[in-house]
Amino acid sequence: MEGKAIRLQSLRKSFGKTEAVAGVDLEISDGEFFSMLGPSGSGKTTVLRMIAGFEPPTGGTIELAGRDVTRLAPFERDVHTVFQDYALFPHMTIEQNVAYGLKIRRVPKAERLRRAREALADVRLEGLGDRRPAQLSGGQRQRVALARALVSRPRVLLLDEPLGALDLKLREQMQIELKELQREVGITFVFVTHDQDEALTMSDRIAVFNRGRVEQVGTPAEIYERPATPFVAGFVGTSNLLTGPAAEQVVGETGTFSIRPEKIRVLKEDRDSGTPDCAGAVGTVAEVVYLGDATRFLVDLDAGGRLTALQQNLETSSEDVAGYRGSRVRLQWQPRHTVRVPD
Protein backbone atom coordinates (compact mmCIF):
# COMPACT_ATOMS: atom_id res chain seq x y z
CA MET A 1 0.00 0.00 0.00
CA GLU A 2 1.42 3.36 -1.03
CA GLY A 3 0.76 5.70 1.88
CA LYS A 4 2.36 8.76 3.35
CA ALA A 5 4.86 7.85 6.04
CA ILE A 6 5.53 11.47 6.98
CA ARG A 7 3.78 14.75 6.34
CA LEU A 8 5.24 18.06 7.52
CA GLN A 9 3.14 21.19 7.24
CA SER A 10 4.47 24.73 7.78
CA LEU A 11 7.02 23.34 10.21
CA ARG A 12 8.99 26.03 12.06
CA LYS A 13 11.62 26.19 14.76
CA SER A 14 13.28 29.21 16.31
CA PHE A 15 16.07 29.18 18.87
CA GLY A 16 15.85 32.66 20.36
CA LYS A 17 16.37 34.97 17.40
CA THR A 18 17.70 32.22 15.12
CA GLU A 19 15.05 30.89 12.78
CA ALA A 20 16.53 27.41 12.21
CA VAL A 21 13.51 26.08 10.28
CA ALA A 22 11.44 28.70 8.50
CA GLY A 23 8.34 26.88 7.26
CA VAL A 24 8.91 23.45 5.73
CA ASP A 25 6.29 21.39 3.88
CA LEU A 26 7.25 17.84 2.92
CA GLU A 27 5.56 14.54 2.15
CA ILE A 28 7.55 11.33 2.36
CA SER A 29 6.08 8.06 1.07
CA ASP A 30 6.12 4.64 2.70
CA GLY A 31 9.26 2.73 1.78
CA GLU A 32 11.03 5.76 0.37
CA PHE A 33 14.74 6.52 0.79
CA PHE A 34 14.46 10.25 1.33
CA SER A 35 17.45 12.55 1.89
CA MET A 36 17.57 16.01 3.39
CA LEU A 37 20.60 17.67 1.80
CA GLY A 38 22.02 21.08 2.58
CA PRO A 39 25.00 23.01 3.91
CA SER A 40 25.86 23.22 7.59
CA GLY A 41 23.27 25.26 9.49
CA SER A 42 20.52 24.94 6.87
CA GLY A 43 18.12 23.33 9.35
CA LYS A 44 18.03 19.69 8.24
CA THR A 45 19.09 18.21 11.59
CA THR A 46 16.53 20.35 13.39
CA VAL A 47 13.79 18.99 11.09
CA LEU A 48 14.96 15.44 11.79
CA ARG A 49 14.97 16.07 15.54
CA MET A 50 11.43 17.46 15.36
CA ILE A 51 10.25 14.34 13.48
CA ALA A 52 11.90 12.18 16.17
CA GLY A 53 10.23 14.22 18.91
CA PHE A 54 13.44 15.52 20.52
CA GLU A 55 12.65 19.13 19.66
CA PRO A 56 9.20 20.74 19.97
CA PRO A 57 8.30 22.81 16.88
CA THR A 58 7.62 26.53 17.20
CA GLY A 59 4.85 26.10 14.65
CA GLY A 60 3.33 23.67 12.15
CA THR A 61 2.40 19.99 12.31
CA ILE A 62 4.03 16.57 11.95
CA GLU A 63 2.02 13.55 10.84
CA LEU A 64 3.34 9.99 10.88
CA ALA A 65 1.25 7.49 8.93
CA GLY A 66 -1.69 9.88 8.94
CA ARG A 67 -1.58 10.52 12.71
CA ASP A 68 -0.77 13.94 14.15
CA VAL A 69 2.21 13.32 16.47
CA THR A 70 3.32 16.95 16.84
CA ARG A 71 2.85 16.91 20.58
CA LEU A 72 3.74 13.27 21.32
CA ALA A 73 6.87 12.13 23.17
CA PRO A 74 9.63 10.34 21.17
CA PHE A 75 8.71 6.89 22.51
CA GLU A 76 5.11 7.37 21.36
CA ARG A 77 6.23 7.72 17.73
CA ASP A 78 6.93 4.77 15.46
CA VAL A 79 10.41 6.05 14.51
CA HIS A 80 13.99 5.24 15.44
CA THR A 81 17.02 7.52 15.14
CA VAL A 82 20.56 6.47 14.20
CA PHE A 83 23.13 9.07 15.28
CA GLN A 84 26.51 9.75 13.77
CA ASP A 85 28.37 8.65 16.92
CA TYR A 86 26.33 5.40 17.03
CA ALA A 87 25.73 5.76 20.81
CA LEU A 88 26.53 2.10 21.55
CA PHE A 89 26.87 0.91 25.17
CA PRO A 90 30.58 0.04 25.57
CA HIS A 91 30.12 -2.45 28.43
CA MET A 92 27.50 -4.55 26.63
CA THR A 93 28.10 -7.18 23.96
CA ILE A 94 26.98 -6.48 20.42
CA GLU A 95 24.01 -8.81 20.85
CA GLN A 96 22.98 -7.08 24.09
CA ASN A 97 23.32 -3.70 22.42
CA VAL A 98 21.03 -4.78 19.60
CA ALA A 99 18.50 -6.47 21.91
CA TYR A 100 18.42 -3.60 24.42
CA GLY A 101 15.39 -1.80 22.97
CA LEU A 102 13.39 -5.04 23.05
CA LYS A 103 14.38 -5.65 26.66
CA ILE A 104 13.04 -2.22 27.62
CA ARG A 105 9.78 -3.19 25.97
CA ARG A 106 9.72 -6.44 27.94
CA VAL A 107 9.97 -8.74 24.93
CA PRO A 108 10.68 -12.30 26.27
CA LYS A 109 14.34 -13.28 26.29
CA ALA A 110 14.21 -16.06 23.69
CA GLU A 111 12.45 -13.80 21.19
CA ARG A 112 14.85 -10.96 21.97
CA LEU A 113 17.82 -13.13 21.12
CA ARG A 114 16.25 -14.50 17.96
CA ARG A 115 15.40 -11.03 16.68
CA ALA A 116 18.79 -9.59 17.62
CA ARG A 117 20.51 -12.38 15.65
CA GLU A 118 18.21 -11.80 12.70
CA ALA A 119 19.00 -8.07 12.75
CA LEU A 120 22.73 -8.80 12.94
CA ALA A 121 22.38 -11.12 9.96
CA ASP A 122 20.52 -8.36 8.07
CA VAL A 123 23.59 -6.14 8.42
CA ARG A 124 26.02 -9.03 7.78
CA LEU A 125 27.45 -9.24 11.27
CA GLU A 126 26.41 -12.79 12.14
CA GLY A 127 28.89 -14.47 14.47
CA LEU A 128 30.13 -11.23 16.06
CA GLY A 129 27.36 -10.95 18.65
CA ASP A 130 29.63 -11.79 21.60
CA ARG A 131 32.13 -9.00 20.96
CA ARG A 132 32.09 -5.58 22.54
CA PRO A 133 31.92 -2.33 20.53
CA ALA A 134 35.64 -1.59 21.11
CA GLN A 135 36.50 -4.83 19.32
CA LEU A 136 34.84 -3.76 16.08
CA SER A 137 35.93 -1.53 13.19
CA GLY A 138 34.16 1.76 12.47
CA GLY A 139 32.16 0.22 9.64
CA GLN A 140 31.11 -2.69 11.83
CA ARG A 141 30.02 -0.35 14.62
CA GLN A 142 27.96 1.52 12.08
CA ARG A 143 26.24 -1.75 11.17
CA VAL A 144 25.53 -2.51 14.84
CA ALA A 145 23.84 0.86 15.20
CA LEU A 146 21.68 -0.03 12.19
CA ALA A 147 20.87 -3.49 13.54
CA ARG A 148 19.81 -1.90 16.81
CA ALA A 149 17.47 0.37 14.90
CA LEU A 150 16.06 -2.38 12.70
CA VAL A 151 15.40 -4.87 15.46
CA SER A 152 12.26 -3.06 16.57
CA ARG A 153 11.03 -2.77 12.94
CA PRO A 154 10.09 0.92 13.15
CA ARG A 155 7.98 2.35 10.38
CA VAL A 156 10.52 5.12 9.85
CA LEU A 157 14.27 5.22 10.39
CA LEU A 158 15.86 8.64 10.87
CA LEU A 159 19.58 8.80 10.08
CA ASP A 160 21.66 11.86 10.97
CA GLU A 161 24.89 11.84 8.92
CA PRO A 162 25.38 8.17 9.86
CA LEU A 163 28.40 7.72 7.57
CA GLY A 164 30.13 10.96 8.58
CA ALA A 165 32.73 9.28 10.79
CA LEU A 166 33.92 6.80 8.14
CA ASP A 167 36.78 7.27 5.70
CA LEU A 168 35.91 7.84 2.07
CA LYS A 169 36.34 4.27 0.76
CA LEU A 170 34.33 2.71 3.55
CA ARG A 171 31.78 5.46 3.26
CA GLU A 172 31.21 4.71 -0.42
CA GLN A 173 30.88 1.00 0.32
CA MET A 174 28.39 1.66 3.14
CA GLN A 175 26.32 3.94 0.89
CA ILE A 176 25.63 1.01 -1.43
CA GLU A 177 25.06 -1.42 1.45
CA LEU A 178 22.69 0.93 3.22
CA LYS A 179 20.66 1.44 0.08
CA GLU A 180 20.44 -2.33 -0.49
CA LEU A 181 19.46 -2.90 3.12
CA GLN A 182 16.75 -0.27 2.90
CA ARG A 183 15.30 -1.99 -0.17
CA GLU A 184 15.34 -5.36 1.57
CA VAL A 185 13.64 -4.23 4.79
CA GLY A 186 11.26 -1.79 3.06
CA ILE A 187 11.39 0.72 5.94
CA THR A 188 11.14 4.45 5.16
CA PHE A 189 14.59 6.04 5.57
CA VAL A 190 15.03 9.76 6.19
CA PHE A 191 18.70 10.52 5.75
CA VAL A 192 20.45 13.78 6.64
CA THR A 193 23.64 14.64 4.77
CA HIS A 194 25.61 17.64 3.53
CA ASP A 195 27.32 15.48 0.88
CA GLN A 196 25.68 15.87 -2.51
CA ASP A 197 27.28 12.72 -3.99
CA GLU A 198 25.98 10.69 -1.09
CA ALA A 199 22.46 12.03 -1.56
CA LEU A 200 22.55 11.44 -5.32
CA THR A 201 23.86 7.87 -4.87
CA MET A 202 21.39 6.70 -2.27
CA SER A 203 18.10 8.54 -2.51
CA ASP A 204 14.77 7.95 -4.19
CA ARG A 205 14.11 11.64 -3.61
CA ILE A 206 16.05 14.56 -2.16
CA ALA A 207 14.97 17.78 -0.44
CA VAL A 208 17.60 20.50 -0.81
CA PHE A 209 17.73 22.79 2.25
CA ASN A 210 18.99 26.36 2.37
CA ARG A 211 18.58 28.76 5.29
CA GLY A 212 15.82 26.81 6.99
CA ARG A 213 13.77 26.32 3.83
CA VAL A 214 13.40 23.60 1.20
CA GLU A 215 14.46 24.98 -2.19
CA GLN A 216 13.63 21.89 -4.24
CA VAL A 217 12.29 18.36 -3.82
CA GLY A 218 12.85 15.77 -6.52
CA THR A 219 14.57 12.61 -7.70
CA PRO A 220 18.36 12.79 -7.99
CA ALA A 221 18.00 13.18 -11.77
CA GLU A 222 15.45 15.99 -11.43
CA ILE A 223 17.60 17.85 -8.90
CA TYR A 224 20.74 17.46 -10.98
CA GLU A 225 19.32 17.97 -14.47
CA ARG A 226 16.66 20.60 -13.62
CA PRO A 227 17.87 22.66 -10.65
CA ALA A 228 15.02 24.93 -9.57
CA THR A 229 17.20 27.71 -8.14
CA PRO A 230 20.76 29.01 -8.55
CA PHE A 231 21.49 27.70 -5.03
CA VAL A 232 20.50 24.13 -5.97
CA ALA A 233 22.47 24.35 -9.22
CA GLY A 234 25.56 25.34 -7.24
CA PHE A 235 25.18 23.04 -4.27
CA VAL A 236 24.47 19.88 -6.27
CA GLY A 237 27.25 19.60 -8.82
CA THR A 238 29.16 22.38 -10.56
CA SER A 239 26.61 25.03 -11.44
CA ASN A 240 28.32 26.38 -14.57
CA LEU A 241 26.01 29.37 -14.77
CA LEU A 242 25.77 31.65 -17.75
CA THR A 243 24.11 34.93 -16.96
CA GLY A 244 23.86 38.55 -18.15
CA PRO A 245 25.46 39.47 -21.49
CA ALA A 246 27.28 36.11 -21.73
CA ALA A 247 23.95 34.25 -21.61
CA GLU A 248 22.48 36.53 -24.23
CA GLN A 249 25.39 35.99 -26.55
CA VAL A 250 25.82 32.23 -26.04
CA VAL A 251 22.23 31.10 -25.46
CA GLY A 252 20.52 33.91 -27.35
CA GLU A 253 18.14 34.66 -24.46
CA THR A 254 18.20 36.72 -21.30
CA GLY A 255 18.22 34.99 -17.91
CA THR A 256 20.40 32.52 -16.04
CA PHE A 257 21.32 29.16 -17.52
CA SER A 258 23.19 26.10 -16.26
CA ILE A 259 25.13 23.62 -18.39
CA ARG A 260 26.60 20.65 -16.50
CA PRO A 261 30.35 20.17 -17.14
CA GLU A 262 30.12 16.57 -18.38
CA LYS A 263 27.68 17.61 -21.13
CA ILE A 264 30.25 19.89 -22.75
CA ARG A 265 32.72 18.69 -25.40
CA VAL A 266 36.05 20.46 -25.74
CA LEU A 267 37.48 20.76 -29.26
CA LYS A 268 40.38 22.73 -30.70
CA GLU A 269 38.99 26.02 -31.99
CA ASP A 270 39.58 25.20 -35.65
CA ARG A 271 37.66 21.95 -35.33
CA ASP A 272 33.97 21.29 -35.25
CA SER A 273 32.31 18.12 -33.97
CA GLY A 274 30.44 17.92 -37.25
CA THR A 275 27.22 17.55 -35.27
CA PRO A 276 24.68 20.04 -36.57
CA ASP A 277 22.39 21.96 -34.21
CA CYS A 278 24.92 22.07 -31.38
CA ALA A 279 24.99 24.93 -28.93
CA GLY A 280 28.44 26.25 -28.22
CA ALA A 281 30.93 28.97 -27.47
CA VAL A 282 34.59 29.68 -28.04
CA GLY A 283 37.17 30.69 -25.48
CA THR A 284 40.62 30.25 -23.98
CA VAL A 285 41.63 27.47 -21.57
CA ALA A 286 42.50 29.18 -18.28
CA GLU A 287 43.23 25.99 -16.37
CA VAL A 288 43.31 22.30 -17.06
CA VAL A 289 43.28 19.63 -14.33
CA TYR A 290 44.15 15.99 -14.95
CA LEU A 291 41.97 13.84 -12.65
CA GLY A 292 42.97 10.34 -13.75
CA ASP A 293 39.67 9.14 -15.14
CA ALA A 294 38.74 12.55 -16.52
CA THR A 295 40.12 16.02 -17.25
CA ARG A 296 38.58 19.28 -16.09
CA PHE A 297 38.90 22.35 -18.31
CA LEU A 298 38.18 25.88 -17.10
CA VAL A 299 37.48 28.01 -20.13
CA ASP A 300 37.15 31.81 -20.24
CA LEU A 301 34.58 32.53 -22.92
CA ASP A 302 35.03 35.29 -25.48
CA ALA A 303 31.43 36.21 -24.69
CA GLY A 304 32.36 36.72 -21.01
CA GLY A 305 31.94 34.30 -18.13
CA ARG A 306 33.69 31.02 -17.49
CA LEU A 307 32.54 27.43 -18.05
CA THR A 308 33.92 24.19 -16.66
CA ALA A 309 33.96 21.17 -18.97
CA LEU A 310 34.63 17.61 -17.83
CA GLN A 311 35.97 15.15 -20.38
CA GLN A 312 36.41 11.42 -19.83
CA ASN A 313 40.02 10.40 -20.53
CA LEU A 314 39.19 7.80 -23.13
CA GLU A 315 42.35 8.31 -25.14
CA THR A 316 43.88 11.31 -23.43
CA SER A 317 47.03 11.09 -21.32
CA SER A 318 48.40 13.60 -18.83
CA GLU A 319 50.94 14.84 -21.43
CA ASP A 320 48.18 15.71 -23.92
CA VAL A 321 46.34 17.56 -21.21
CA ALA A 322 49.16 19.96 -20.24
CA GLY A 323 49.34 21.24 -23.83
CA TYR A 324 45.82 22.66 -23.60
CA ARG A 325 46.56 25.46 -21.11
CA GLY A 326 46.25 28.85 -22.81
CA SER A 327 44.98 27.35 -26.06
CA ARG A 328 41.87 28.37 -27.95
CA VAL A 329 38.97 25.91 -27.80
CA ARG A 330 35.43 25.44 -29.00
CA LEU A 331 32.88 24.15 -26.47
CA GLN A 332 29.89 22.27 -27.78
CA TRP A 333 26.81 20.72 -26.19
CA GLN A 334 23.30 19.59 -27.06
CA PRO A 335 20.82 22.49 -26.81
CA ARG A 336 18.62 20.45 -24.44
CA HIS A 337 21.43 20.59 -21.86
CA THR A 338 21.11 24.36 -21.60
CA VAL A 339 18.84 24.53 -18.55
CA ARG A 340 17.14 27.74 -17.52
CA VAL A 341 17.54 28.38 -13.78
CA PRO A 342 14.73 30.51 -12.31
CA ASP A 343 16.12 33.50 -10.40
The residue ranges that bind ligand ATP (CB under 6 A) are: 15, 18, 20, 38, 40-46, 194
Cα-based distances in Å from 161 to 22, 130, 138, 154, 313: 22, 27, 14, 19, 33
Closest distance to ligand ATP from the beta carbon of 213 (Å): 11
Give 85 or 269: the residue with its C-beta nearer to ligand ATP.
85
Give 39 or 326: the residue with its C-beta nearer to ligand ATP.
39
Distance of alpha carbon 6 from alpha carbon 212, whole angstroms: 18
Measured N-to-C along each axis, helices 138-150 and 168-185 cross at an angle, to the nearest 10 degrees, of 20
Distance of alpha carbon 204 from alpha carbon 34, whole angstroms: 6
Give 43 or 305: the residue with its C-beta nearer to ligand ATP.
43
Give 15 or 83: the residue with its C-beta nearer to ligand ATP.
15
Q: Which residues neighbour 20 within 8 Å (Cβ) at sequence distance 6 or greater?
A: 13, 14, 43, 46, 212
Closest distance to ligand ATP from the beta carbon of 143 (Å): 23
Give 29 or 84: the residue with its C-beta nearer to ligand ATP.
84
Phi, psi for 146 (deg, rounded to 5) = -70, -45
Q: What is the total residue count of the chain?
A: 343
Cα-based distances in Å from 234 to 210, 224, 238, 242, 341: 12, 10, 6, 12, 11
Distance of alpha carbon 161 from alpha carbon 250, whole angstroms: 40
Alpha carbons within 13 A on the beta-carbon side of 311: 23
Cα-based distances in Å from 181 to 139, 147, 161, 184: 15, 11, 17, 5
Give 38 or 57: the residue with its C-beta nearer to ligand ATP.
38
Q: Note whether 3 and 30 are within 8 A (CB).
A: yes
- Amino acid at position 32, single letter: E
Closest distance to ligand ATP from the beta carbon of 15 (Å): 3
Give 45 or 188: the residue with its C-beta nearer to ligand ATP.
45
